[in-house]
Amino acid sequence: MGSAIEIKAVSKRYGALQALDDVSITVEPGEFFALLGPNGAGKTTLISAMAGLSRPDSGSIQIMGHDVIRDFRAARMSLGVVPQELVFDPFLSVRETLRFQSGYFGLTRNDDWIDELLSKLGLADKANVNLRALSGGMKRRVMVAQALVHRPPVMVLDEPTAGVDVELRQSLWTFVKELNEAGHTIVLTTHYLEEAEALCNRIAMLKRGKLVALESKDKLLQHGKEREVAFKLNGPLPDTLLPRKVREEDGRIVLKLPDIAQLEQVLAALREAGVAVRELNVIEVDLESVFVNMMHGGQV
Amino acid sequence: MQGFLTLFRKELVRFWKVAFQTVAAPVLTALMYQLIFSHVLSRHVEAYPGVSYTAFLIPGLAMMSMAQNAFANSSSSLIQSKITGNIVFLLLPPLTALEFFAAYMLASIVRGMAVGAGVLLVTAWFGLPLPSHPLWVLLFAILGCGVLGTLGVIAGIWAEKFDQLAAFQNFLIMPLTFLSGVFYSINSLPPFWYAVSHANPVFFMIDGFRYGFFGQADVSPWLSLSVVGGSFILLSGLALWLIKSGYKLRH
Ligand SMILES: Nc1ncnc2c1ncn2[C@@H]1O[C@H](COP(=O)(O)OP(=O)(O)OP(=O)(O)O)[C@@H](O)[C@H]1O
Ligand SMILES: [Mg+2]
């Protein structure tokens, strides 16, 4: 079987702005994939291109093997998108919204699935409420349900947890994980890096329209081999170690090591200077620091 | 096909939920015109031999209301969806350009026809005869609403703000519908305005529609049919091409 998403050399300009610059990404079926990048990096533009909402200037995109422009019907049947902006039709109730959305995808008798979506997303008691009367987080849930009415094999969520409370974030991720385990391919963008870290197996990072990293999460974390180690010492830091010092926080001195293996040398230098170590912590790298590092031009 | 039916139904639900405003209000407006103009002018003019001014006025008012409301239906629905952003839910599904266009256009026809039927109903007692050619009546009603519904689709896609749409409505649709022989037979016009009226497709809608009721009109119903039908085909082609190309919908 082919790839779930195949993005080939996609570029897109808005006037003088290069929103996407020769981006190529392949996502395999069943992957849980994160698309990261700062504001304006081009994440939404890339998702719009996958969904046919915008037309790339060059390059091509296939969803489940269907070209999103030439074979748009099959491509769109295979794709569910939760847009970043909170949008809704103020004339309709939740159930009407989902029934109409099913109809646009050619489905008439979809009520069983709609009921399941409503209950999974905690919307069962809101089924007949008008969208206008729902809170923002509830509207977001309806958008997730709308993206799923046609049970697409590929689902893309553009910052689905923005403005959503902790409880919904939890239940949303449980739900999306279930979908993933049931075989759906999931792509998400988020600014909460711990979400990407907890959920995804592969990560792409965009910066000013360019793909700056595309790797499995573990590999990406490994790249951040640089470790920070916090020491509590019973004497002053020897001069030889001063260049390694990055900061001091609550009585502890934080040193930066290009590799954890160099801890040996640091300890040796301390012993030589007659300074004893009273406490030692290795500060774990997380995606966030790798991310921040990369976005500030650091090398992967 | 199912996609088209769903969107068509949604467009019907949309105006029907606020029918008081989308159907009843224009019917009332037309009734006001009928009352005022027939009161002021009835003793002075006999439009056609044997046709009183009050009777003459009715089909014109009905067609004018149909035209304005058919335009309003598709254009306001589209611009609202664009401005609120929920048009995205129509752009994500696999709807074809034809399905998209046909749903908006046909819903406009239904709204126009509902308004037209309402206007005829409340004004008929001013002396409207039973149509002498009911098929012409029906044909011009459908095609007239179709032309304006299609123009509404084009305007709704083109406009980015409500005031752009309002400009379209006030500077194009209103003059076209008012300067179309609703209130007078254009044969009574000075040559210049006579010529101008002949360049207005809405004139032919009204004239053809009138022919269906009275069996007489300013021009042949076949000429009217070809102008109105031609406009419909031309505008539909343009609307379909805009939708297919993604003009202002898919950037
Ligand atoms: N329709 C448009 N017209 C002009 N410029 C646009 C348009 N859409 C996006 N852009 C520009 O393209 C760039 C990428 O925008 P995009 O929305 O893809 O960023 P993003 O990565 O999704 O950011 P965020 O995290 O804020 O959602 C931005 O500089 C944005 O201003
Ligand atoms: Mg975005």
Enter the ipTM: 0.91
Residue B86 to residue B100: CA distance in whole angstroms: 15
Asked if A193 and A36 count as a contact pair (C-beta separation under 8 A), the reply is yes
Q: Which of B3, B84, B251 sits opposite A103 (nearest CB)?
A: B3
Show the tokens assigned to A204.
Answer: 């792409």
Element spanning A8, H or E: strand A5-14
Confirm or reject: Cβ of A4 under 6 Å from ligand 1: no
CB-based contact B84 A77, cutoff 8 Å: no
Identify the residue among B5, B82, B89 best suited for mutation to test binding to A, counting A beta carbons within 10 A and taking the highest.
B89
Asked if A53 and B250 count as a contact pair (C-beta separation under 8 A), the reply is yes
Confidence check: pLDDT of A300 > 50: no
Tell me how far CA of residue A116 lies from CA of A30, A80, A95, B223, B226, in angstroms. Answer: 22, 17, 12, 58, 53
Which pLDDT value is given to residue A295?
66
Confirm or reject: Cβ of A128 under 6 Å from ligand 1: no
- If one residue of A21, A39, A156 were mutated to test the ligand 1 pocket, choosing by the most ligand atoms within 8 A of its CB, it would be A39
Which pLDDT value is given to residue A126?
95
Confidence check: pLDDT of B231 > 80: yes
Mean pLDDT across B53-76: 94
Which pLDDT value is given to residue A225?
64
Q: What are phi and psi of A25, to 5 degrees?
A: -145, 140
Whether A76 and chain B come into contact, CB under 8 Å, resolves to: yes
B13-62, pLDDT tens digit by residue? 999 999 999 999 999 999 999 999 888 876 666 778 888 888 899 999 99
Output the average pLDDT for chain B: 93
Residue listed under structure tokens 């997303």: A121
Q: Which of A159, A187, A193 is nearest to A292 (CA)?
A: A193
Strand partners, A17: A14
Which pLDDT value is given to residue A30?
96
Mean pLDDT across B91-120: 98
Residues of chain B neighbouring A76 (CB-CB closer than 8 A): 92-94
Mean pLDDT across A137-142: 91
A161-214, pLDDT tens digit by residue? 877 778 888 888 899 999 999 999 999 998 777 788 888 989 898 989 999 888
Confidence of residue B127 (pLDDT cuts 50, 70, 90): confident
CB-based contact A105 B7, cutoff 8 Å: no
Give CATH superfamily name and number for A5-221. Answer: P-loop containing nucleotide triphosphate hydrolases (3.40.50.300)
Q: Which of B14, B85, B92 sits opposite A76 (nearest CB)?
A: B92
CB-based contact A91 B95, cutoff 8 Å: no
Which pLDDT value is given to residue A212?
86
Q: Hey, how many other C-beta atoms are within 10 angstroms of the C-beta on A183? A: 9
Residue B203 to residue B200: CA distance in whole angstroms: 5
List the domain boundaries for chain A: 5-221, 226-284
Q: Determine which of A74-83, B94-103, B130-139, B192-201 has the lowest per-residue pLDDT on average.
A: B192-201
CA angle A104–A107–A109, rounded 5-degree value: 135
Q: To the nearest whole percent, how much of chain A has pLDDT over 90?
A: 55
Confidence check: pLDDT of A285 > 70: no
Name residue A222's amino acid.
Q
CB pairs under 8 A between A and B: 78
CATH classification for the domain delimited by A226-284, as one of 3.10.450, 3.90.920, 3.30.70, 1.10.10: 3.30.70
CA of A207 to the centre of ligand 1 (A): 12
Tell me how far CA of residue A168 lies from CA of A91, A173, B244, in angstroms. Answer: 25, 8, 38
